[in-house]
Structures are given as structure tokens and as C-alpha cells.
Structure 1
Amino acid sequence: MAGKQTGKSCRREAGFTLLELMVVVFIIALAAGIVLPRLPDTEGTRLKSSARNLASGIRFLNDQAIITKKVYRLHLELGENTTHIAELSPTGEEMQPQDQFMGRRLVEEGIDIEDVSVGSRGVVNEGEVVIPFGPAGLGDGVTIHLKAGKVHFTVIAYPSGGKVTVQEGYQEVTS
């Protein structure tokens, strides 16, 4: 009776235990945690990062000007999409600030400074715009539009008070 089964069935049910499923989920999460940060940044992420960097740079310059009672200038080169910060010497000459934070790049490569509006000067969309920060901080309101592809972010710096906001999209600011 070699081929005949007796009353009890010897069947084994297929499936995974909870422990096996947890191990697989853990391995997938670990792999995602390693791989995702190494993926290239998307255009939108770089744009948002640039807007936040620019906003923090403006806040920092405003605070430094008030605390140190010095005059700083933020130069925005619209054609080249670059920024740099200068400190005014007592004789009125521009010099490189000693603070390393002021030497960092505020707008990442590939991000366009579309236009800048500074107080009564109106909207500037080419050339260089210089934003002064005096012992009282930022004197005029500033609106800076950044663009990557078809996506926009707007950085708005309000005079006297140091408030700087970052808003998604192309925002028009009325005085």
C-alpha cells in the first residue's frame, strides 16, 4: 500500500509568515533609503531650494546690516543668473565680506532669475540689480521671480522688519 494515503492528509499550506513579510518590507525600505537620496534632483526641487536659499540669504544680510551697522549690497546678475554679496568699506569701496555664509551660492545652476522688482525702481528683467542693506536693514521692498522651465517661485522681502517669504508660482506684489 505504498501509493495509498491514510485518513490524515499530509498537505502543507503555502504562504509567508508575518516575520518573513516584515523582513522583506524592511529590506525594501532600507534600499529605498539608500537609493532615493542619490537620485538626481528634479528641476522643481532645485528651484524651491534656490528660492529658500535666496530668502535665507536676504534675511541674514538684513540682520547682519542691523547688528553690525554696516552696509551690504546683494548683486543679482540676471543675464548670468548669479548672485554675490559685497560689504561697503568706510571709504565706500566694495569688498568681500569676512563671513563665509555670504560667499555661498544662493541660486543654483540652471535656475533663472527672471526679474526683480525693487521698490520705486520698478521691474528689471535684464542686467544687474543691486539691493542695498543699510544699518536700518532693507530700505525698499523686493520681489524676485525665479524660474526653472515653466515652474516659478517668488521671493518677497518686506522693508523694515526683515520678513521674507517664499511663494510658489509667479506672484505679483502690489505696494
Structure 2
Amino acid sequence: MKKIVRSLRIMPLACVLVSCAHMAVPAIHEVRFETVDLVQYSGVETSRRQVVRSMEEWNALWHEHKKQDSRMPAAPVVDFSNQAVVAVFLGARPNGYYSVKIERADFIEGEIVVQYRETVPFGNAICTYAVTTPAHIITIPKMAGSLNFKTIGFGEQISTPLGTPPSTASEAASE
């Protein structure tokens, strides 16, 4: 009789454990990326996140990004049949302490999540007092699905469908 009572006490715990074992945990796959440019002084003066899917759009973005560079370097070669360009521009910031860095990209349940960190001044930080326009531009493998930008530490999240035409993708990412 004691064994039956003991078994009845353990049954609810066993049921909880079995049900937890069957819960779906999303598979997270790291997406490898390469930095194209990481700068404090971009020609892009407004805050935006952008996905680029064509050479024409890439050349326009690169020209805007490098417009302050008197040498105007040619846009790096990107194979848009296999890659996309992802960019985070902070826009104009009041001093040199601000920066941005894309830290990781993951493929989670049909979408790419690009996580970036914005560094902001704190306390009596010593820095240059010149207006900066921090930017980080990367290439990622071209994948089906949507792409979300997520600020690490601030919780801001902006969704950009990868299937959206370039003109609306830029607008959706900057909203």
C-alpha cells in the first residue's frame, strides 16, 4: 500500500517532467558574417538599419556612406546571388564616445536576428567632442525569411522582411 501511495505522489512530478521534455525549444543557428566597414565617421547622418540586396542599391548606399571621404573608394565587391549586406547607422551623435558594433547574427525559426550594441557615454567619460556618425556594415549569407534588428541592452527591435522590395525595406528598417 505504501508503494502505491508513494507512486501516486511521484506521478504529478513525472508528468511535468515528461511534458517539459516535449516542449519545443527553438533551434538557434549562428549566421557567420564579415565586416565590410566599421567606422566612427559615416556619411549617413540619420539613424537607420538597412538590408541591401542588389548591386545598384549597394553602390548608392556605399556612395552615401563614404561621401565624406575625399578619395571615394570603390564599393567592396559583394556577390548578391549568395550574400546580402546588412548595415546599422547610428546617425549624428554629439561626441566620439558613441559607437555601434554588430555582435552576432542568428537564424531562429525562419528569421535572421542581427544583434548590435550601441555604446553611449556614461558619467564623466573622456572623449572627443566632435560630431560622429558611427556605422557597422556586414555581409551575411542570403537566406529566405525575415530579418530583425535587435539592440543588445536597449531592447529596441525592428523587423525587416527579407522579401520586401529594397525601397520599402529601407523605410521599414528606419521606422
- TM-score, normalising length: structure 1: 0.27
Q: Could you say which structure has the greater relative contact order, defined with CA pairs below 8 angstroms and 6 or more residues apart?
A: 2
- TM-score, normalising length: structure 2: 0.27
